[in-house]
Structure 1
Amino acid sequence: MTGIQGFFCVLGVVILGYFTPADAGTEATEAAESKSDSSSALMEEIRSGFYSRINIVGFGLVQKPLDSPLNPNNALEIVDYQTELDFRPDFNLKYRRLELALKPRLEGRWQKWNRGIRKRTEGDAEIFVQEWLVRYRVMDPLFISYGRENLQWGPSYLLSVSNPFNPVNGRNNPQLEVPGLDYGRVVWVPGPEWTASFIVNTGKGRIDLPETFKRTYALKLDYVGAGKYFSLIPSHQERGQTRIGFYGGWTLSDAALLYTEGQVSEAGKNPRVLVGGTYTLELGPTLGLEYFRKQDGCDREPILLCFTPGSGGTAARHSLAREGFIRKDYLMLQYLQSRIQDIFNVTVRWVRNLNDPSNAFLGIFGYELSDHIQLFMISNVFEGGRKTEFRSFLAYSVMLGMSYTF
């Protein structure tokens, strides 16, 4: 047992001893030998419920910020060069009805800006908690929890349209962690097909919000059946809107899957709907197609007009900060293949903005050197005029790095 495991086992005995039933061998009349046996059994139970995983990620980033109407003289301070080393340990302890999880992080980075008002070089380091969780099983079908989590759901690749808390799903860069938010949850599992969750977003956690944080309440109803699944997510934000999110999927065959995901306001205004599907070829690759329609998006040209007062400028800024999409209509094509010769993973994605002539190309490549070490490259290329959406911030970006997990 490692030093970390020993520490958590001792800590578990101190903290969790309170929850141990009275008949576990703590009566004063028990013999010393019985006490020792009970203590050993408790330690073994805690040891068997402890799990740890440590991931070390190092990468270098090169990108070219653009001088455009939305980023004049690099006003957004987009970095040109960056190197970073992240230490990401995960700890989890399950003890009878209680589960504890902790994900502390240490990040060190060096950055350089070649243009704009922030034309300099700097480095810093940061220690923080990415996620933590306390979960208690009240009875077999009922769980309560509180903590900081990255709650993600839905089948879509572009973004999680149905998620009222954070639509960013992290699928455009699996090496960067999506910040967690603070949630309280009550989960009821009445049977193998149905799950009901009451969720309260109590704090913004580590996410940067474009507006003042407001609590959001949601009820998530999930159904999973033979060859199909469906979820309904009504939610309400304090001093804000009431929305209804949804997603579902249908298995047409062993190779074909159709799915949809969306969100609509209480009054039925400004719907956001994504429809898509995947088809897996016999040789292994999976082809994907998605169409995303955002009714409250902006189709004015040039793109700068979307940010002017009186034309939905606030909504456009919020959309850019929260989900990265400003316009109304987008089309995505994707090629994905995993475990090529048991060592290569490839994802190539093309996103077409249907409201202005701009395109985004994404490539995610992984090479597994061993069971613990992976090399990766994540590249983005943006094409279009300087007054279009995808060509307003970057010309390209390339991330090269290595991940070591033990």
Structure 2
Amino acid sequence: MDWQFHMNDMSRIRPFLFAAGLTLMAPGALTAEETGPEKNEYAPEPGGLETFWNDVRFNGEISSLYTHTNPEEGIVNPNNSIKRIETGNWNTVARTEFSYKNRAAGINLRLEPWFSFERHFFDHAGGAPYSEENIQIGRYQAKFSGLIPRTTLAAQRGIVAWGPAFFGSPSNPFPDTSSTANPLEEEFGSDFLWMSHAFNGTWSMSAYQNYSRGSIDSVDSNPFKRAGTVAVHYNSYNYNVSLLAGNQEDYGPIYGAYGQWTLGEATVLYFDAGLRKRGRARYPVESSNILGGTYNSGKAVRKPEIVVGGSYTTADDTTFYGEYLFQGSGYSKGELDLARDIALAANENLVGAPALSEGTLGLAALNELPYLGQHNASLIVSRSIGDFDLTFQNQTNMQDFTGRLYGSVVYSYGPAKFTLSLLQAYGREGGAFRQSVDTQVVSGMLLRF
């Protein structure tokens, strides 16, 4: 799918579960074994092999999703000849999970072999449908929490994500691929090492370092870059704050913080902030050529980003989320207007100056800013009604008032889930949220066993 945002699970509105988990490792915390029923002293002790198999679990799931996309084929991507977006994608994934958890020894092992089949469809020139199969270790984890007191060490293939915001996490230096337009789809992970240590029930720290792209598909425009970060967490009764400092290969230091404040049972306020460089961004600049402008990447510097938001839950369990994102590295209002003017001129000169026009539009397509504009707002509503989970989201750029509407329905029946989601972009052609996808429909199912 061409664009992604945080919808596949509700982890981003449940921040600091990691810090809460560290609190449970503090002295005096009761484990499940300590609070469980008393053992029969006359029962024979299980042997080593029997004990091992009692701690082993096997399960798995099969998901099949179909995505139909109507690309934006206007001034930025005429006839879908620049971005060449897929118009259809059928993705079927089968995975088996093997896990071994020995709480007494503090060992938690997990291995997930994945088999995926994809069928890709296009409507642009030369875009013949094709299929691909992939068998690999989608995820794994080797976690040890008993070697050093109140410390957890792990090697893992997965998604490194934190913070409460749906807009993303400006404090996170790792590629965020944990969420898509479909609430059932789960991305492959990258390889990283992490460590956490609880000083007491209030203070803790954690550190992350990636070391491989892992099972994430390699693309030329997004090469693997090493990144690492260290965070200090403060976990109080009704508020939590984390401070982070790290480094990204080629892009330099990144500093950040995130936190939340619980005002009551119904209201939560939160933020996520970062000072970072978006090194693969492209910016429009005026030029004397016939298009009136071109694109360059030399303007990328370290700038602040911040998401502030809050949630309110009503008596009938309907939850509203409101967020504002300031992305310092995004386009100003003048740059959004200039980019649109350049695209209009490029369309008018596709016949007279095809190389210049198509090359300029291609530079615009290479932009890797998470959001194009500087000022963005989001409203999300979620509710569960019986076996149905409903979500609605509206994202808007506050400079040119383009946006996209998203809605999804998930129906659960026993071990199966069925989903249908719809995305629709709106606003002026070529605006901040009308660069790639016009309409997108996703349907599918997931079966756990």
TM score, norm. by length of structure 1: 0.81
Residue 287 (str. 1) matches residue 331 (str. 2): no
Corresponding letter in the other structure for 2:230: L
Deviation readout 1:314-348 (Å, 9 max, x if unpaired) = 8994534xx3x12111100111112x12x010010
- Higher relative contact order (Cα pairs below 8 Å, separated by 6+ residues): 2
Give the C-alpha shift of residue 182 in structure 1: 1.3
| 1:264 alignment partner in structure 2 | 275
The partner residue of 1:136 within 126, 135, 144 is 144
Give me the whole-angstrom Cα distance separating, in 2, the residues matched to 1:272 and 1:49. Answer: 44
The partner residue of 1:364 within 400, 408, 411 is 408
**Contact 1:297/1:316 (CA < 8 Å) preserved in 2?**
no
| 1:91 alignment partner in structure 2 | 98
| 1:379 alignment partner in structure 2 | 422
**Contact 2:118/2:132 (CA < 8 Å) preserved in 1?**
yes
- Are the structure 2 counterparts of residues 373 and 117 from structure 1 closer, same or farther at C-alpha, using a change threshold of 3 Å? same
- Are the structure 2 counterparts of residues 169 and 306 from structure 1 closer, same or farther at C-alpha, using a change threshold of 3 Å? farther
**Contact 1:73/1:116 (CA < 8 Å) preserved in 2?**
no
| Greater Cα shift, 202-211 or 108-117 | 202-211
| Greater Cα shift, 288-297 or 220-229 | 220-229
- Are the structure 2 counterparts of residues 316 and 113 from structure 1 closer, same or farther at C-alpha, using a change threshold of 3 Å? closer
- Are the structure 2 counterparts of residues 306 and 253 from structure 1 closer, same or farther at C-alpha, using a change threshold of 3 Å? farther
Identity of aligned residues (%): 23
- Are the structure 2 counterparts of residues 139 and 359 from structure 1 closer, same or farther at C-alpha, using a change threshold of 3 Å? same
| Greater Cα shift, 394-403 or 102-111 | 102-111
Give the C-alpha shift of residue 265 in structure 1: 4.1
3-state SS of paired residue (1:115) = coil
Give me the whole-angstrom Cα distance separating, in 2, the residues matched to 1:183 and 1:318. Answer: 27
**Contact 2:167/2:307 (CA < 8 Å) preserved in 1?**
no
Residue 198 (str. 1) matches residue 244 (str. 2): no
Give me the whole-angstrom Cα distance separating, in 1, the residues matched to 2:235 and 2:342. Answer: 41
| 1:349 alignment partner in structure 2 | 393
Give the C-alpha shift of residue 353 in structure 1: 0.9
| 2:286 alignment partner in structure 1 | none
Residue 102 (str. 1) matches residue 111 (str. 2): yes
| 1:319 alignment partner in structure 2 | 368
- Unmatched segments (≥5 aa) in structure 2: 1-43, 278-300, 347-355
Give the C-alpha shift of residue 168 in structure 1: 4.4
| 1:298 alignment partner in structure 2 | 331
Give me the whole-angstrom Cα distance separating, in 2, the residues matched to 1:331 and 1:148. Answer: 32
- Are the structure 2 counterparts of residues 99 and 283 from structure 1 closer, same or farther at C-alpha, using a change threshold of 3 Å? closer
Give me the whole-angstrom Cα distance separating, in 2, the residues matched to 1:77 and 1:243. Answer: 33
3-state SS of paired residue (1:261) = strand
3-state SS of paired residue (1:277) = strand
The partner residue of 1:56 within 57, 62, 83 is 62
| Greater Cα shift, 58-67 or 256-265 | 58-67
Mapping for residues 139-288 of structure 1, pairs under 5 Å: 139-170=148-179, 172-207=181-216, 208=218, 210-265=221-276, 269-288=302-321
- Unmatched segments (≥5 aa) in structure 1: 1-36
Give me the whole-angstrom Cα distance separating, in 2, the residues matched to 1:305 and 1:49. Answer: 63
| 1:334 alignment partner in structure 2 | 380
Give me the whole-angstrom Cα distance separating, in 1, the residues matched to 2:123 and 2:180. Answer: 29
Give me the whole-angstrom Cα distance separating, in 1, the residues matched to 2:243 and 2:342. Answer: 32
Query: How many aligned positions are there?
Result: 359
3-state SS of paired residue (2:316) = coil
